[in-house]
């Protein structure tokens, strides 16, 4: 029973912070997940851009 009450309190806290409806809370969570994924992927994107830049610089020579 205590576990259920704790869970309901947690849901209430989330609703106060992120929206009145559970759907609002879930939408916020999805946006947060997408932002986190973008941040985590940033290193990979930078490495790919550096590789592309390095490849194009080698083809065009030192003077662009």
pLDDT tens string, the chain, 64 residues long: the values are 999 999 999 999 999 998 889 999 999 999 999 999 999 899 888 889 999 988 655 455 555 4
Residue 3, CA distances (Å) to 13, 31, 38 in order: 15, 28, 35
Q: Which domain holds residue 18?
A: 2-60
The whole-number pLDDT of residue 6 equals: 96
Most distant CA pair in the chain, distance: 73
Question: What is the reported pTM?
Answer: 0.56
How far is residue 6's CA from residue 8's CA, in Å, rounded to a whole number? 5
**Which residues lie closer than 8 Å to 24 by C-beta, 6 or more apart?**
15, 18
Count: domains in the chain = 1
Residue carrying structure tokens 């997940």:
33
The whole-number pLDDT of residue 64 equals: 47
């Amino acid at each position: 029973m205590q576990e259920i009450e704790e869970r309901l309190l947690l849901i209430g806290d989330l609703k106060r912070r992120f929206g009145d409806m559970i759907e609002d809370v879930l939408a916020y969570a999805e946006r947060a997940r997408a932002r986190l994924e973008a941040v985590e992927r940033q290193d990979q994107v930078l490495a790919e851009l550096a590789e592309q830049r390095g490849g194009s610089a080698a083809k065009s020579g030192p003077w662009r």
